[in-house]
Amino acid sequence: METTTKENNSSSTNESSGSESSHTESSSNDTPQGKDEEEPSFVAHKTHLNAGDKAPYFEGKDQDGNTLNSAMFIGKNLILYFYPKDDTETCTKEACNLRDEYKYLSDSNYAVIGVSPDDERSHTKFIAKYNLPFPLLADTDMKIIKAYDVWGTKKFMGRIYDGLLRTTFVIGPDGIIKEVITKVDSANHAQQILGM
């Protein structure tokens, strides 16, 4: 896979169908159920991390309370994807596409981990509802989110607020970031990652 930072403009239709939460500055967990914390039409903040950088160390609890950390994935390609909220429209599209392509990804030496500010209970329900085969980290204190610099200012329909910026990091077997995808094509994300 070519080591680049990707921004796929084809995601615009996938990232604009839902509605934003009405708060000015709060966690994406406040988004009402059924409403999607969508990627806004303009993002003022982007992660400082780039392809070629060493991926920050992370450690967190998954939906079952198991501790996962980045050292456990050395030797594999890791898809570490950050999303705003469980069981919302665009986040579900993204998770289900990765689910549908999971066997191919796994056979190609990829591991998949999702990260959001949701708690373990929310992740458990989300995984059960959509039969997701990969773990989701409950980053309720946002330590991983902040380490990867994916929390920042958004602007949507003239409103500026802070929230999680949907971003995927593809990390190589050596712990070096291979790709940073900030314009996520949620419905075709696995294909986007693989450059298909």
Q: Residue type for 67, please?
A: T
Q: Taking 60 as the threshold, does the pLDDT of residue 41 lie above it?
A: no
Annotated catalytic residues are: 91
Overall average pLDDT of the 76-103 stretch: 98
Residue 150 has pLDDT above 50, yes or no: yes
pLDDT at 19: 37
What is the secondary structure of 130-173 as a DSSP string?
HT--S-EEE-TT-HHHHHTT-EEEEEETTEEEEEE--EEEEE-T
pTM: 0.79
Model pLDDT, residue 45:
83
Q: How far is C-alpha 28 from the chain's CA centre?
A: 13
User: What's the pLDDT tens digit per position in 99-126?
Assistant: 999 999 999 999 999 999 999 999 999 9
The CA distance from 29 to 72, in Å, is 28
Tell whether the model's pLDDT for residue 194 goes beyond 80: yes
pLDDT at residue 89 tops 90: yes
As a whole number of angstroms, the distance between CA 35 and CA 17 comes to 10
Spell out the residues 6+ positions from residue 137 whose beta carbon is closer than 8 angstroms to its own: 58, 60, 61, 62, 68, 113, 114, 115, 116, 144
Q: Which of 179, 79, 176 is nearest to 133 (CA)?
A: 79
Give the burial string for 9-20 (b: 16+ CB within 10 Å, else e): eebeebbeebbb
The string of pLDDT tens digits covering residues 151-163 is 999 776 677 889 9
CA distances from 37 to 100, 160, 168, 191 (A): 23, 14, 16, 23
Q: 67-69 and 59-61 as β-strands: parallel, antiparallel, unpaired? A: antiparallel
Q: What are the boundaries of each domain within the chain?
A: 4-18+35-194
Across the beta sheet with 159-164, what order do the strands follow?
Answer: 42-43, 151-156, 159-164
**Residue 7 pLDDT grade (very low, low, confident, very high; cuts 50, 70, 90):** very low
Q: Which fold has domain 4-18+35-194?
A: Glutaredoxin (3.40.30)
